[in-house]
Amino acid sequence: MKILVVGGGGREHALVWKILQSPKVEEVICAPGNGGIMEMVDCEPVAADDIDGLLNLALSRSIDLTVIGPEAPLTAGIVDVFQEKGLRIFGPTKKAAAIEGSKIFAKKLMKKYGIPTAEFESFTDPKDAFEYLKTHGAPIVVKADGLAAGKGSIVCKTDKEAHDAVLTIMEDRAFGSAGDGIVIEECLTGEEASIFVLTDGNDFLALPPSQDHKPLNDGDTGPNTGGMGAYAPAPIIDDKLTYTINTTIIKPAIDAMRNEGIPYTGLLYAGLMMTAEGPKVIEFNCRFGDPETQAVVPLIENDLVELLEATMDGTIKNYSIKILPMYSVCVVAASGGYPGKYEKGKEIFGIDDIYISQNKNIFHSGTIIKEGRLYTNGGRVLCMNAVNTDLRWAIEQAYSLIESVDFQNMYYRTDIGKKGLARLYNIR
Ligand code: AMP
Ligand code: GLY
């Protein structure tokens, strides 16, 4: 088979790495890829949101299966376009991708089907939103309805912040038309977890639960980022919680979509808060998460291509997931300044001297190769991954990888996986 992977982040590097291990695969192509992916497979300079360009690429290169990384092409309808041309593509249709593309849609769906989530109200007129805030004070969360590159959810500690958040989204239009509507919701407290399931619209297969580290700095402080590291399996999700999540959130969500006439196929990502009242949904995403994928994928023993095909063929119930009995940790090396302004084009040193194995990987995010040298090309630059039977060792090995590389103003969190250590060994 020839497979096209769309995207150019650490998530796509991990997917390409895993897909290449499938005996079914003859060739993998990535668009647009990055400096690390380029060393493994052919990369084509077509942007991830250029649907026509990707369609032409898939047709001209006789691609058998296209796998989409980021949300933007999915919510813009790439799956519908490819399917109309008879091409196989992994991911939800445009209507089904609205589970991520419109927070108002997702929240209303959850309310209608009794899926636990924060109490909320949605608005399309800022006047109504300001009125609502008079009776619903901080802490409170204001969210742009549409996609906002991970910046559209504002957790407000004061009433003024909440007022300003509505202004920013609806009047200053900081996220453009994504702010035509907003959700204002109750602020939940607890630990977060990311649940990935592969679903064919009827049945699902859960991948190991993981935990992202969204805030920039240690101790979960500072501004939110795309994610500064992740580990899996996250011990907070024990068997009992897995059962609760599957029966009160995942299955009802899949059934709800089917019942609404928009069956969901692909990877469904539930971002959850483990509250005192049980797990509640913060958001659904219509794709693999980044950086959780870089932690989760190395634990999967199955042929990933077989599983992707089963979600498209409606046969996922015939499969069971085989997971290495190990822990996987990934730590992100970011450019200084990220998630605000940062510089690109800094040379990256030390990578060639690192010995890479099945249990030790460097997944690239924002990197580029120029004249044989590797440079930074984004906010999140590299993702160091280590797999070990002991979470403590996996963490130590991921950090020893990061200490072996260097670029100007490199920044990383030093506490990735600490919540897992606290739970397993009471190490704080
Ligand atoms: P989202 O854009 O929905 O992924 O939210 C980004 C981050 O904001 C989440 O990972 C949480 O840390 C935080 N967040 C979103 N919604 C809530 C909520 N209702 N209560 C508390 N924190 C939230
Ligand atoms: N790690 C968060 C996301 O992929 O949205």
pLDDT (0 to 100) of residue 353: 85
Q: Whose atoms come closest to the Cα of 69: which ligand?
A: 2
Domain 2-93 belongs to what topology? Rossmann fold (3.40.50)
User: For atom 16 of ligand 1, which residue has the closest CA?
Assistant: 282
Does the pLDDT value for residue 114 go beyond 80? yes
Per-residue DSSP letter, 379: S
User: For atom 3 of ligand 2, which residue has the closest CA?
Assistant: 289
Domain 327-425 belongs to what topology? Glycinamide Ribonucleotide Synthetase; Chain A, domain 4 (3.90.600)
pLDDT in tens, 349-398: 999 888 888 899 999 999 999 999 999 999 999 999 999 999 999 999 99
CATH number assigned to the domain with residue range 125-180, chosen from the 4 options 1.10.600.10, 3.30.1490.20, 3.30.750.24, 2.40.30.10: 3.30.1490.20
pLDDT band at 149 (very low <50, low <70, confident <90, very high): confident
In the CATH scheme, what is the code of domain 191-318? 3.30.470.20
Ranges 291-300, 400-409, 418-427: which has the least confidence: 418-427
pLDDT band at 308 (very low <50, low <70, confident <90, very high): very high
Question: What are the DSSP calls for 128-155, one per residue?
Answer: HHHHHHHHS-SSEEEEESS--TT--EEE
- Report how far ligand 2's centroid is from the alpha carbon of 230 (Å): 10
pLDDT (0 to 100) of residue 151: 81
Do residues 385 and 294 touch, judged by C-beta distance below 8 A? yes
Q: Coil, strand, or helix at residue 310?
A: helix
Q: Whose atoms come closest to the Cα of 152: which ligand?
A: 1
Does the pLDDT value for residue 428 go beyond 80? no
pLDDT (0 to 100) of residue 426: 79
CA 48 to chain centre: 15
Question: Which of 104, 147, 155 for a ligand 1 pocket mutation test, highest count of atoms within 8 Å of Cβ?
Answer: 155
Mean pLDDT of the chain: 96
Q: Whose atoms come closest to the Cα of 282: which ligand?
A: 1
CA–CA gap between residue 103 and residue 283 (Å, rounded): 8
User: For atom 4 of ligand 2, which residue has the closest CA?
Assistant: 289
Quote the pTM value: 0.97
pLDDT band at 220 (very low <50, low <70, confident <90, very high): very high
Per-domain residue ranges of the chain: 2-93, 125-180, 191-318, 327-425
Q: Whose atoms come closest to the Cα of 144: which ligand?
A: 1
pLDDT (0 to 100) of residue 150: 76
Q: What percent of the chain has pLDDT over 90?
A: 95
212 Cα nearest atom in ligand 1 = 10
In order of 40, 241, 295, the CA distances from 244 in angstroms are: 40, 5, 23
Helix (H) or strand (E) holding 259: helix 251-259
Ligand 1 proximal residues by C-beta, below 6 Å: 118, 141, 152-153, 155, 185, 187-188, 192, 214, 224, 271, 282-283
pLDDT in tens, 53-107: 999 999 999 999 999 999 999 999 999 999 999 999 999 999 999 999 999 999 9
- Report how far ligand 2's centroid is from the alpha carbon of 180 (Å): 23
Ligand 2 proximal residues by C-beta, below 6 Å: 150, 212, 227, 285, 289-290, 292
